[in-house]
Amino acid sequence: MPTLTIDNLSVTIPDGSTIFEAAAQLGIVVPHFCYHHALGAVGACRMCAVTVVEGKMPGLKMSCMTPAEEGMVVETDTAQAMEFREHVGEWLMTNHPHDCPVCDEGGECQLQEMTISSGHGVRNYRGNKRTYQNQDLGPFIAQEMNRCIQCYRCARTYQDYCGGRDFGPMGSRQRVFFGRFTDGMLESDFSGNIVDVCPTGVLTDKTFRFKTRLWDLQQAPSICPHCSLGCATVPGGRYREIQRVVSGVNVQTNGHFICDRGRFGSSYVNHPKRPRQARVDGTNVPVAQALNRLRDKIAGVIAEHGPGAVAFVGSGRASLEANWLLKQWARSLKCPAPVFELHPRRGRAIRQAVGPLSSHLASLRQVRKSDLVLVIGADPLNEAPMLALALRQAVREGGRIVVLDPRPVDLPCVFEHHPLTQEQILCLLAGRCETGLLNNLLSELMTARRPVLVGGSDLLGGVGLQLLGHLTESCDNDDRYCLIHPLLPRVNSFGGGLLEDAPQEDLLERLENGRIKALVCLESDPGSEHPEAGRMQLALSRLDYLAVFDCLPTHATRRADLLLPTATTVEGDGVYINNEGRMQAFSAALQPGIPIAAVTAGQHPPREFMPETPGSQPQPAWQMLQDLLGERHSVTALRRAMEQSEPRLEGMSRLQPGDEGIKVAPQDPEPVEESTVEIWSQDGDLRLLPVQSCYGSEVASSLSQTVTPRLVTPRLMVHPQEAQQRHLQEGEDVTLKTAHGLFRLRLFCDERMATRRAIVPCLPGTPLEIFVPGGLSLPCDIEGGAS
Amino acid sequence: MKQTEQLLFKNRRPGETAFLKEYEGSGGYLGLKKAVREMTPKEVCELVKASGLRGRGGAGFPTGVKWSFFPAENPGPKYLVCNCDEMEPGTYKDGELLKADPHQLVEGMIIAAYAMQIDTGYIFIRYAYKEQFAYLERAIVEATEAGYLGKDILGSGFGFELHVHGSAGRYILGEETALLNGLEGKRPNPRSKPPFPAVRGLFGRPTTVNNVETLANIQHIVNGGAVWFKDLALTVEGAGTKLYGLSGHLEQTACFELPVGISLRELIDDYGGGVWQGRAFKSCLPGGASTPFLTADNLDVALDYQTLEAVGSRFGTAGVTVFDDRTCMVAVTLNLIRFFARESCGWCTPCRDGLPLVVWLLEKIERGQGTDDDLQMLKAQHRNICGNSFCALAEGAMGPVDGLLSNFEQEVVDHIQKGRCPFTA
Q: Strand pairing partners for A278?
A: A285
Final residue belonging to a domain, choices B196, B230, B264:
B230
- Same domain flag for B51 and B175: yes
Spell out which residues of chain B touch residue A129, defining contact as CB-CB under 8 Å: none
Considering only CB atoms, which chain B residues are within 8 Å of A169? Answer: 187, 346
CB B267 within 8 A of CB B244: yes
Same domain, B176 and B253: no
Is A523 within 8 Å of A494 (Cβ atoms)? no
Q: What is the spatial distance between Cα A694 and Cα A411, in angstroms, rounded to a whole number?
A: 13
| Neighboring chain A residues of B344 at a CB cutoff of 8 Å | 172-174
Give me the DSSP letters along B341-384: HHH--S-SHIIIIIHHHHHHHHHHHHTT---HHHHHHHHHHHHH
Distance (Å, whole) CA A363 – CA A10: 35
For strand A518-522 and strand A545-550, is the pairing parallel, antiparallel, or unpaired?
Answer: parallel
Point out the residue among A87, A95, A150 whose CB comes nearest to the CB of B346.
A150
Nearest C-alpha in A relative to B348: A44
Q: Which of A94, A168, A172 sits opposite B357 (nearest CB)?
A: A94
In this structure, what CATH number is given to the domain that contains residue B166? 3.40.50.11540
CATH code at B253?
3.10.20.600
Q: What share of chain A is helix, strand, coil (3-state, %, to 5)?
A: 35, 20, 45
Question: Which of B375, B324, B77 is closest to B207 using CA atoms?
Answer: B77
- Residue A105, phi then psi, degrees to nearest 5: -80, -15
Using the 3D structure, point to which of B308, B324, B340 is the last residue of a domain. B324
Mutate to test the interface with A, among B172, B344, B349, B377 (most CBs of A within 10 A): B349
Please give the CATH number for the structural domain made up of A278-316+330-340+504-600+614-663: 3.40.50.740
- Cα-Cα end-to-end distance for chain A: 75
Using the Cβ of A604 and the Cβ atoms of chain B, whether some distance falls under 8 Å is answered with: no
Q: Are B188 and B90 contained in the same domain?
A: yes
Q: Is A289 helix (H, G, I), strand (E, B) or coil?
A: helix
Task: Looking at A565-679, list the stretches that DSSP marks H as alpha helix, in order from N- to C-terminal side.
Answer: 596-600, 621-628, 635-645
Q: Does B187 touch chain A (CB under 8 A)?
A: yes
Which whole-number Å values give the CA distances from B360 to A46, A177, B150, B419, in the listed order? 21, 22, 53, 16
CB atoms < 10 A from the CB of B42, how many?
A: 12
CATH 3.40.228.10 applies to domain A347-488: yes
- Spatial distance between the Cα atoms of B164 and B167, rounded to a whole number of angstroms: 10
Give pLDDT tens digits for A136-188.
999 999 999 999 999 999 999 999 999 999 999 999 999 999 999 999 999 99
Is residue B403 assigned to a domain? yes
Per-residue confidence at A478, pLDDT binned at 50, 70, 90? confident
- What is the per-residue pLDDT across A304-348, written as a single tens digit (0 to 9) for each? 999 999 999 999 999 999 999 999 999 999 999 999 999 999 999
**Closest CB to B388 among A49, A92, A152:** A49
Residues of chain A with CATH 3.10.20.740: 3-93
Q: Is residue B306 within 8 angstroms of chain A, CB to CB? A: no
Amino acid, res. A338: P
Contacts of B377 in chain A (CB under 8 A): 124
Question: B83 with B209: CB under 8 angstroms?
Answer: yes
Cis peptide before B194 (omega within 30 of 0): yes
Tell me, yes or no, whether B222 and B259 share the same domain: no
Helix axes A422-430, A457-475, angle to 10 degrees: 20
B424 belongs to a structural domain: no
Domain A3-93: give its CATH architecture.
Roll (3.10)
Residues B132 and B250 in one domain: no
Tell me whether residue A199 is exposed, middle or buried, using C-beta atoms within 10 angstroms of its C-beta: 0 to 12, 13 to 18, 19 or more.
buried
The mean per-residue pLDDT over the stretch A118-139 comes to: 94
CB contact under 8 A, A172 and B170: yes
The Cα A718–Cα A728 span in angstroms is: 10
The pLDDT of residue A623 is: 95
B379 interfacial to chain A (CB closer than 8 Å): no
d(CA A164, CA A412): 7
B54-65 confidence digits (pLDDT tens) = 999 988 999 999
In a domain? residue B12: no
Indicate which CATH number applies to the domain containing B339.
1.20.1440.230
B108 and B242, same domain (yes or no): no
If you average pLDDT over residues A258-284, what whole number do you get? 95
Beta-carbon separation of B346 and A172 below 8 A:
yes
Closest residue on chain A to B190 (Cα): A44
> How many Cβ atoms from other residues are within 10 Å of residue B295's Cβ?
17
Nearest residue, CB atoms, B388 vs list A46, A124, A125: A46
- The angle subtended at Cα B357 by Cα B353 and Cα B363, nearest 5°, is 145
pLDDT at A336: 93
Of A30-34, A750-754, A782-786, which gets the smallest average pLDDT?
A: A782-786
| B333 in the same domain as B319 | no
Q: Does B177 touch chain A (CB under 8 A)?
A: no
In a domain, B423, yes or no: no
CB burial of residue B31 (10 Å; 0-12, 13-18, 19+): buried
CB contact under 8 A, B192 and A65: yes
Q: Which of A125, A150, A175 sits opposite B357 (nearest CB)?
A: A125
**B 190-219 → A contacts, CB under 8 A:** 192
Between CA A120 and CA B236 the distance in angstroms is 50
CA-to-CA separations, A419 to A416, A439, B170, in angstroms, rounded: 10, 17, 45
- Interchain proximity A91–B354, CB inside 8 Å: yes
The pLDDT value given to residue A503: 77
Q: Tell me which of A430 and A581 has the higher pLDDT.
A: A581
User: CA angle at residue A682 from A681 to A685, to 5 degrees?
Assistant: 150
Q: Compute how many other C-beta atoms are within 10 angstroms of the C-beta atom of residue A16.
A: 9
Is B99 found in the same domain as B181? yes
Residues of chain A above pLDDT 90, percent: 86
In this complex, is the C-beta atom of A60 within 8 Å of any C-beta atom belonging to chain B? yes
In a mutational test of the B interface, the residue from A57, A87, A149, A160 whose CB has the highest number of chain B CBs within 10 Å is: A87
* Strand (E) or helix (H) holding A575: strand A574-577
Confidence of residue A670 (pLDDT cuts 50, 70, 90): low
A445 within 8 A of A477, measured Cβ to Cβ: no
Residue partners of B375: CB distance under 8 A and separation at least 6 = B365, B409, B412, B413, B416
Mean pLDDT computed over A232-246: 95
Span of A729-733, A782-786, B72-76 with lowest mean pLDDT: A782-786
Which residue of A32, A173, A175, A396 is the best one to mutate when testing the B interface, meaning the one whose CB has the most B CBs within 10 A? A173
What helix, strand, coil percent values describe chain B, rounded to 5?
Answer: 45, 15, 40
In CATH, which of 1.10.10.1200, 1.10.3720.10, 3.30.70.141, 2.40.40.20 is domain A687-783?
Answer: 2.40.40.20
Do residues B182 and B83 share a domain? Answer: yes
Q: How many domains does the structure of chain B reveal?
A: 3
Q: Mutate which of A91, A123, A165 to test chain B, going by most B C-beta atoms within 10 A? A: A91
Closest-CA distance, B344 to chain A, in angstroms, reads 5
The distance of A164 to chain B (nearest Cα, Å) reads 15
- Local confidence band at A674 (pLDDT 50, 70, 90 cut-offs): low
In a domain, B145, yes or no: yes
What pTM was estimated for this model as a whole?
0.93
What domain range includes position B382? 329-418
Report chain A's mean pLDDT, rounded to a whole number: 93
Are B398 and B290 in a shared domain? Answer: no
What ipTM was estimated for this complex?
0.93
Which among A43, A83, A94 is the nearest to B353, CB-wise? A94
- Rounded distance between C-alpha atoms, residue A610 and residue A692, angstroms: 44
pLDDT value of position A785: 67
Instruction: Tell me the DSSP string of B308-339.
Output: HHHTT---TT-EEEEEETT--HHHHHHHHHHH
- Give the distance from residue A105's alpha carbon to the nearest chain B alpha carbon, in angstroms: 22
Mean pLDDT of A598-615: 76
Q: Given strand B241-248, what is the order of strands in its sheet?
A: B255-259, B241-248, B319-324, B281-285, B294-295
Q: Are residues B106 and B246 in the same domain?
A: no
Answer whether residue B341 is part of any domain: yes
Would you write out chain B's pLDDT as a tens digit for each of its 425 residues?
668 889 999 999 999 999 999 999 999 999 999 999 999 999 999 999 999 999 999 889 999 999 999 999 999 999 999 999 999 999 999 999 999 999 999 999 999 999 999 999 999 999 999 999 999 999 999 999 999 999 999 999 999 999 999 998 899 999 999 999 999 999 999 999 889 999 999 999 999 999 999 999 999 999 999 999 999 999 999 999 999 999 999 999 999 999 999 999 999 999 999 999 999 999 999 999 999 999 999 999 999 999 999 999 999 999 999 999 999 999 999 999 999 999 999 999 999 999 999 999 999 999 999 999 999 999 999 999 999 999 999 999 999 999 999 999 999 999 999 999 999 86
Q: What is the pLDDT of residue A787?
A: 47
Task: Enumerate the CATH 2.40.40.20 domain ranges in chain A, comma separated.
Answer: 687-783
Interface of B with A in 134-173 (CB under 8 A): 170, 172
In a shared domain, residues B250 and B278: yes
Q: Does residue B379 belong to any structural domain of this protein?
A: yes
Last residue of a domain, one of B172, B205, B230: B230
